[in-house]
Amino acid sequence: MPSVETPDVSSIDPTLDLFAEIDRLRKEKKAIILAHYYQDPDIQDIADHLGDSLDLAKRARDAKEAEVILFCGVHFMAETAKILNPSKTVILPDLDAGCSLAEQCPPEQLRAWKAKHPDHFVVMYINCSAGTKAESDMICTSSNAEAIINSVPKDRPILFGPDKNLGAFLIKKTGRDMDLWPGACMVHETFSSQKIIKLKAQHPGAQFIAHPECEDHVLLLADFVGSTSKLLQYVQEDAGKQYIVGTETGILHTMKKHAPDKELIPVPYEDRSAACQGCNSCPHMKLNTTEKIYLALRDLKPQIHMPEELRQRARLPLDRMLAIS
């Protein structure tokens, strides 16, 4: 269902130079533009800061001069910005930019799960709503998840959600006793190990690098597993020449910029017969467009709002995460 605030891009004068207008408006409104690596290349290029979920949360928290934070990402990211920096006007170009993980673990279901496991420590992946964060003891991102799990007192069993794939990866890495919420990312769970094996055979010199939101059978094939920023860093610093990239396709734009001499092969790769031709593209992230960014800056909406009591409860587990990140 489209939200009531779906921007009307048909009202935009087609002769406008949108990039010049966005630039003018960002200065006029004292706005900072934060963008995730999964945004379209044009959006990545106009951002003041580009990053993974953790970098962007810190940028939002530390945005002192700006009056407006324009978040080019998905709803939970913009909500996190508002939780961490509530005096700013936080706008998201399209309020319908959700996340399959966030949708799969609403706060009332987490409350019921906690009630069955009263002794457990609750770590939730940042890909969840403010309401779900407010029910958690600690938040993590894919960049800091291992350190966060290792920081939980050794005598406490852990409830981890909403991503069962990241959770299973963390159990292997840390050896901790964790119960997993059965959520998954709609993009990363479509990657097929058979296609990756085929790609590896076609490109014997290539390394396969993957995001930990991928399923276990995919991660077993990976030469390196990491968050978006860690994948980017790996491609830049590693001595290899070819990489099969197991994450959302948007990041290839910045990888190419920072490592122009490397060959990057997206998963799935040029398989025109595949039913999931666009399945490495996140439909939520891709709801943001330059037209919607222009409207959001011009009208300062759609804005992120939440009750103050909820914001304060959601802030606690985020602050605990940031204290050790």
Separation of alpha carbons 173 and 17, rounded Å: 49
Residue 142 binding result from ligand 13P, ligand SF4, none, given CB thresholds of 5 to 8 Å by partner type: ligand 13P
Residue 141 binding result from ligand 13P, ligand SF4, none, given CB thresholds of 5 to 8 Å by partner type: ligand 13P
CA 295 to chain centre: 23
Range 187-226, binding ligand 13P (CB under 6 A): 213
Q: Which residues contact 56 (CB under 8 A, 6 or more apart)?
A: 34, 35, 36, 49, 71, 73, 77, 81
Q: Identify whether 302 is preceded by a cis peptide bond (ω within 30 of 0).
A: yes
Question: Which region, judged by CB under 6 A, interacts with ligand 13P, from 23-31, 136-144, 197-205, 312-320?
Answer: 136-144
Chain residues that interact with ligand SF4, rule: CB under 6 A = 38, 74, 99-101, 127, 185-187, 213, 248, 282, 284-285
Q: How far is the CB of 34 from ligand 13P (least distance, A)?
A: 12
**Residue 85 makes contact with ligand 13P by CB under 6 A:** no
**Residue 163 makes contact with ligand 13P by CB under 6 A:** no
Separation of alpha carbons 285 and 36, rounded Å: 9
- Per rule CB under 6 A, count of chain residues that contact ligand 13P: 11
Question: Which region, judged by CB under 6 A, interacts with ligand 13P, from 17-25, 79-87, 138-146, 233-241?
Answer: 138-146
Q: Which of 52, 79, 94, 215 binds ligand 13P (CB under 6 A)?
A: 52
Residue 186 binding result from ligand 13P, ligand SF4, none, given CB thresholds of 5 to 8 Å by partner type: ligand SF4
Using DSSP, state whether 84 is helix, strand or coil.
Answer: helix
Reference 228, options 253, 262, 191; nearest CA is 253
Q: Which residues contact 280 (CB under 8 A, 6 or more apart)?
A: 187, 190, 191, 247, 248, 249, 266, 267, 268
Which of 66, 104 has the CB closer to ligand SF4?
Answer: 104
Burial code (b: 16+ CB inside 10 Å, e: under 16) for 79-117 equals bbbbbbbeebbbbbbbbbbbbbbbbbbebeebeebeeee
User: Look-up: residue for tokens 């991102």?
Assistant: 141
Q: How far is the CB of 36 from ligand SF4 (least distance, A)?
A: 8
**What letter would DSSP give residue 247?**
S
Q: CA dist 71 to 42, 82, 282, 286, Å? A: 14, 10, 16, 13
The tokens for 39 are 């945004």
Q: Cβ(280)–Cβ(264) under 8 Å?
A: no
Range 228-287, binding ligand 13P (CB under 6 A): 228
Q: Give residue 202's identity as a one-letter amino acid code.
A: Q
Which of 89, 325 has the CB closer to ligand 13P?
Answer: 325
Q: Which of 80, 132, 227, 288 binds ligand 13P (CB under 6 A)?
A: 227
Q: Give residue 35's identity as a one-letter amino acid code.
A: A
Backbone angles phi, psi at 4, to 5 degrees: -65, -20
Q: How far is the CB of 166 from ligand 13P (least distance, A)?
A: 10
Question: Which region, judged by CB under 6 A, interacts with ligand 13P, from 113-121, 128-136, 139-147, 266-274?
Answer: 139-147
Residue 129 binding result from ligand 13P, ligand SF4, none, given CB thresholds of 5 to 8 Å by partner type: none
Separation of alpha carbons 182 and 259, rounded Å: 36
Q: How far is the CB of 199 from ligand 13P (least distance, A)?
A: 21
Q: Which of 142, 190, 254, 289 binds ligand 13P (CB under 6 A)?
A: 142
**Residue 141 makes contact with ligand 13P by CB under 6 A:** yes
**Residues making contact with ligand 13P (CB under 6 A):** 52-53, 99, 127, 141-143, 185, 213, 227-228
